[in-house]
């Protein structure tokens, strides 16, 4: 199926138990849909070996690692040195997901802010993009990202972007990227689609956040990387492009932001 436009699922969670025993089939279905690469996100650093092993075993899979903001209260605080050391692996291509979540875990807000600053510093030192989770914390998120970027520039993607237009503009002003997930395809998400439509096309990625947030017609069921093609189809409509053009633009965006993944070659890898 070489005529299918290629895209990248820039954010999924292939180590989650939802995919146990099915990874080969999941990755094969992704390829059939034109999803030729995916970034699996480690949300607790103690799980990094398992996530790394998936990337090592499957050529299309890359990975990122961090302490998710909702896990900060339960996990040891990450260190910059720890993240920098992990980033030496050839298939670790991002720092994340980090961020702030005041919706479910506002009681750990102070620790989340400390963790976010550590991850920002690691992104600066490694040159890898920071992957941000933001929920109900727009003002603090915008302020911390701007301050830390002044302290030491880094690249960044606002993963599964569904925040306010103000936070979106603040991120774009810093040179960051916005990622479209299945949320952007939901019927009641017109306001979010309008925010994306105002963004530069060269700052847009697509993702699943699978196993969560499946787009129609799979909403309410397990999401998987193949379904990022459904989100990309809606993205093409939002930007008034045909699917192949939108796919090509988002591929170029991914390659620019995740340059380590773009440069990776399986040649010589054991």
Predicted TM-score (pTM) of this structure? 0.96
Q: Which of 74, 21, 14, 66 is nearest to 45 (CA)?
A: 66
CA–centroid distance for 69 within its chain: 14
Which whole number is the average pLDDT over 10-20?
97
Q: Is 97 marked as a binding-site residue? A: yes
Percent of the chain at pLDDT > 70 equals: 98
Alpha carbons within 13 angstroms on the beta-carbon side of residue 80 total 11
The 10s digit of each residue's pLDDT in 159-183 is 999 999 999 999 999 999 999 999 9
Q: Return phi, psi of residue 68, to 5°.
A: -60, 140
126-153: pLDDT as tens digits: 999 999 999 999 999 999 999 999 999 9
Q: Has 159 been labeled as part of a binding site?
A: yes
pLDDT of residue 270: 38
Residue 119, annotated ligand binder? no
3-state secondary structure of 268: coil
Please report the domains of the chain, with CATH numbers, ordered by start residue.
7-263 (3.20.20.140)
Q: What is the mean pLDDT of residues 57-64?
A: 98
User: Is 58 labeled as ligand-binding?
Assistant: no
């Amino acid at each position: 199926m070489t005529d299918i436009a290629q895209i990248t699922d820039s954010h999924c969670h292939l180590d989650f138990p939802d995919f146990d025993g099915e990874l080969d089939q999941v990755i094969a279905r992704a390829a059939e849909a034109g999803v030729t690469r995916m970034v699996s996100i480690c949300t607790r650093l103690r799980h990094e070996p398992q996530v790394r092993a998936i990337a090592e075993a499957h050529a299309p899979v890359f990975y990122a690692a961090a302490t998710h903001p909702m896990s900060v209260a339960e996990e040891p605080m990450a260190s910059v040195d720890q993240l920098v050391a992990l980033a030496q692996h050839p298939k670790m291509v991002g720092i994340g997901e980090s961020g702030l979540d005041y919706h479910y875990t506002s009681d750990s807000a102070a620790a989340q802010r400390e963790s976010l600053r550590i991850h920002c510093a690691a992104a600066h030192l490694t040159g890898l993009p920071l992957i941000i989770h933001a929920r109900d914390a727009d003002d603090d998120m915008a302020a911390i990202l701007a301050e830390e970027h002044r302290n030491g520039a880094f690249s960044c993607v606002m993963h599964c972007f569904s925040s306010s237009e103000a936070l979106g503009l603040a991120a774009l002003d810093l040179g960051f990227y916005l990622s479209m997930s299945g949320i952007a395809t939901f019927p009641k998400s017109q306001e979010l689609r309008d925010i994306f439509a105002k963004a530069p096309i060269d700052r847009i990625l697509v993702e699943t956040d699978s196993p969560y947030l499946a787009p129609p017609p799979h909403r309410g069921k397990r999401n998987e990387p193949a379904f990022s093609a459904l989100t990309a189809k809606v993205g093409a409509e939002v930007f008034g492009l045909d699917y192949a053009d939108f796919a090509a633009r988002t591929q170029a965006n991914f390659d620019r932001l995740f340059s380590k993944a773009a440069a990776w070659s399986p040649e010589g890898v054991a």
